[in-house]
Structure 1
Amino acid sequence: MTASPFLSLPGAVPADDVDESTAGPGHYGNPIVEQRHLERGTAIVDLSDRGVITVAGPDRLSWLHSMASQSFQGLRPGEGIEALFLDASGRIEHVVHAVDDGETTWLIVEGADAAPLARFLDRMRFMLRVEVADRSDEFAVLGAMSASALDAAVPAASPSGLPLDWNDPWSTRAPGTHRYARDAGHPASDWHFIERIVARDALADAVAAVRAGRVEVAGSLAAEALRIAAWRPRLATEVDEKSLPHELDWLQSAVDLGKGCYKGQETVAKVLNLGRPPRRLVLLHLDGSDTVLPAPGDEVIGEKVRPEPLPGEAPERRVVGHITSSTMHHELGPVALAVIKRQVPADLPLIVESHGTDVAAAQVEIVPADATSAIDVPRLPRLGARP
């Protein structure tokens, strides 16, 4: 995959975060202003680091349906969904943003996950009428918070006559899903992200549109800031080798709870019905007085004070989690997403150890510490239902 032509724009600075592998622009000189432009729906963001996989053939939807956490049966042309591929223990292995054009299912994935997922899918074809291809060298992805910004830049690819736009379902509550986070004040309502698949050689046209002033541009840092503020998990940042969908509140957009017969389903059902995810995602408001922004992987520390401490006794410090993503948000200031242990009380003072400095952190629950069993969704069947 070649370097992004967006790097030729004035002020472009290559990303030095999770997206650095493709050397796309992290920002163009002012990430805070770029956040506002992106949030207003007047800017596009280069996501050409993403991978694009196609699944063609008459059996494609039923085949994907049999393996993924989301329902592909009856997926209408132009409709987009999010789906997880889990291991036998219910841990997240792959995440796809899928849109079907009536002939082919297009999967947008993390760039580093494109080749592994394509290999996995190819091994699972058996005798079915499906064809899997990694098309990342031919197609790229642009993002925006409005279709009008994308339209001003470049038309979506449409090999079968249908524009390939994926509208993120994070802001909606579809039937058969479950959200651990409380609905009141949930920031997902402000997240209306669109990912547009375009021909990779059309990226130069999008750059020309920016130069001509037809659309504004934002870097990956701006997109990450808005994603973090929306509590939106991402495979490249929030997921590790132990991650369950429940821990990241991913049941609300990527799991059809009325669907059976996929790998990892029993764990999904067990954790859902017991109501006790082993870990949980939180948003941390960080003390910015030392101008230290914690990095992914930095440890989150809980301080426990005994009811009757001895004179001069320091609080007990225990590692309770780690930072997954962090940003300087244009309204919230320094914030981060973190995965912490389930039993950590919501009011426990937290500290992030970063660059040799203790950064105080105030916790906002996403998956609550007292998450209870789900009684408002159907129990997952072991066999049979909507296989």
Structure 2
Amino acid sequence: MISELQNLQAKTGAIFETSSLEKVIPMSFGNDTEAIHASQQGVALYDRSHWGLLKISGEDRLRFLHNQSTNSIQTLKPGEGCDTVFVTSTARTLDLATVFITEDAILLLISPNRRQQLMEWLDRFIFPMDQVELQDLSSHYSIFSLLGPDSRSVLQKLGVTDLQQQPLGCHQLLEIAGSTVRISAGSGLTTLGYTFIIPTSAAVSVWQTLTQVGAIPLGEVVWQHLRIRQGRPVPDAELTEAYNPLEAGLWQTLSFDKGCYIGQETIARLNTYKGVKQQLWGIRLNAPVSPGTPIWIEDAKVGILTSYTNTDGEHFGLGYIRTKAGGVGSKVKVGEIEAEVVDVPFLKHPPL
């Protein structure tokens, strides 16, 4: 079923695909080159409404999430937030999520294909005495992100000034286009930006307002290009049960002094004993290569390509490479294609 927002987007050139979760996703607005430029030199607008939004409420909510994910949650106050990772008991990655603490609940922005899995995963760890409730709000809210250096000027045009110098994850409720919208600092990438959590009934008016003040619509194809170029790992590519968050370069989401949580023993041991055997890097390629292609140094297989993008003839990917094989500057082959290992801004690697 096409929504009112999607009808509006279609009038401006949106091309849609339906996901496996029956979510209709604007893949492109027919302006991919312009949208990439806007994210780098102006301001772009990404519709993330196919992502998941979960709510955790109840008196034990902070303790509960603190014990279920990698970052320190109990120290956060209403209006603050952070990124955190859900892992298995052996520290294999399930998802990278963004946490928003409100006065009476926790909101979790999660990857599009992890809603059901994380709802079931979290429900497993709610015990009879826990005062915790889970709710999937995904169908009740739309999620938009502004990306680009002019994002702050867009907020200024909307009369929003309090968020401009706030750390990532900080958020507040504000009035936009006659509706109450939660706006947070952070675009989901390292690009300057802000994320909007909007009641679905107000999505059209907010989208119109943001485009009228200069934001250029950006489709899923461009988002995937940007996240690969910046190194944001995603489920079923870089985040799978084959890898842990240290290998995935998500050190900024880890607390090493918060105490016990699911997967904590494995993560602590890997950190203490320098046990990170492979790491995720950017890969600059000389030609197209499919994800899943092995990475070689001479005759030794040292890793695997997990994602690939090509824009204007520039071939780029993400891949896991054995730590002992080298890092930035290493010359490798991906299949038969020559390539070089490069740094990307989203990923952090083990401290020296």
Superposition TM-score, scaled by structure 1 size: 0.73
Residue in structure 2 matched with residue 351 of structure 1 by the alignment? 333
Residue in structure 2 matched with residue 83 of structure 1 by the alignment? 84
Structure 1 counterpart of 2:243, which letter? S
User: Is the contact made by 1:56 and 1:131 (CA closer than 8 Å) also made in structure 2?
Assistant: yes
Structure 2 counterpart of 1:124, which letter? F
SS at match of 1:229: helix
> Is 1:167–2:167 an aligned residue pair?
no
Residue in structure 1 matched with residue 292 of structure 2 by the alignment? 298
User: Is the contact made by 2:43 and 2:214 (CA closer than 8 Å) also made in structure 1?
Assistant: no
- How many Å separate the matches in 2 of 1:239 and 1:45? 22
Mark the runs of 5 or more structure 1 residues left unpaired by the alignment: 172-187, 305-315, 376-387
The within-5 A match list for 1:347-386 is 348-353=330-335, 358-365=336-343
Matched length: 328
Shift of 1:235: 3.1
Mark the runs of 5 or more structure 2 residues left unpaired by the alignment: 161-170
Closer, same or farther: CA 202–169 of 1 in aligned 2, 3 Å: closer
User: Is the contact made by 1:98 and 1:166 (CA closer than 8 Å) also made in structure 2?
Assistant: no
Deviations 1:17-71 (A, max 9, x none): x999634222222322201212335221111110100011222112211222111
The within-5 A match list for 1:110-125 is 110-125=111-126
Closer, same or farther: CA 196–131 of 1 in aligned 2, 3 Å: same
The within-5 A match list for 1:279-318 is 279-288=278-287, 292=288, 294-295=289-290, 297-304=291-298, 316=299, 318=300
User: Is the contact made by 1:286 and 1:360 (CA closer than 8 Å) also made in structure 2?
Assistant: yes
- How many Å separate the matches in 1 of 2:173 and 2:140? 13
Shift of 1:85: 1.9
Residue in structure 2 matched with residue 307 of structure 1 by the alignment? none
Segment drifting more, 238-247 vs 143-152: 143-152
- How many Å separate the matches in 2 of 1:2 and 1:257? 45
Larger radius of gyration: 1
SS at match of 1:245: coil
Residue in structure 2 matched with residue 66 of structure 1 by the alignment? 67
User: Is the contact made by 1:15 and 1:220 (CA closer than 8 Å) also made in structure 2?
Assistant: no
Residue in structure 2 matched with residue 275 of structure 1 by the alignment? 274
Closer, same or farther: CA 152–29 of 1 in aligned 2, 3 Å: farther
Structure 2 counterpart of 1:360, which letter? E
Structure 2 counterpart of 1:141, which letter? I
Shift of 1:84: 1.4
User: Is the contact made by 1:144 and 1:150 (CA closer than 8 Å) also made in structure 2?
Assistant: no
Residue in structure 2 matched with residue 140 of structure 1 by the alignment? 142
> Is 1:240–2:243 an aligned residue pair?
no
User: Is the contact made by 2:183 and 2:195 (CA closer than 8 Å) also made in structure 1?
Assistant: yes
SS at match of 2:247: helix
User: Is the contact made by 2:295 and 2:321 (CA closer than 8 Å) also made in structure 1?
Assistant: no
- How many Å separate the matches in 2 of 1:31 and 1:170? 19
Cα RMSD (Å) of the superposition? 3.4
Shift of 1:227: 2.5
Residue in structure 2 matched with residue 336 of structure 1 by the alignment? 317
Higher strand content, 1 or 2:
2
- How many Å separate the matches in 1 of 2:74 and 2:67? 9
User: Is the contact made by 2:56 and 2:132 (CA closer than 8 Å) also made in structure 1?
Assistant: yes
Closer, same or farther: CA 303–58 of 1 in aligned 2, 3 Å: closer
Residue in structure 2 matched with residue 183 of structure 1 by the alignment? none
Shift of 1:90: 1.3
Shift of 1:2: 6.0
- How many Å separate the matches in 2 of 1:262 and 1:232? 24
Closer, same or farther: CA 150–24 of 1 in aligned 2, 3 Å: farther
Superposition TM-score, scaled by structure 2 size: 0.80
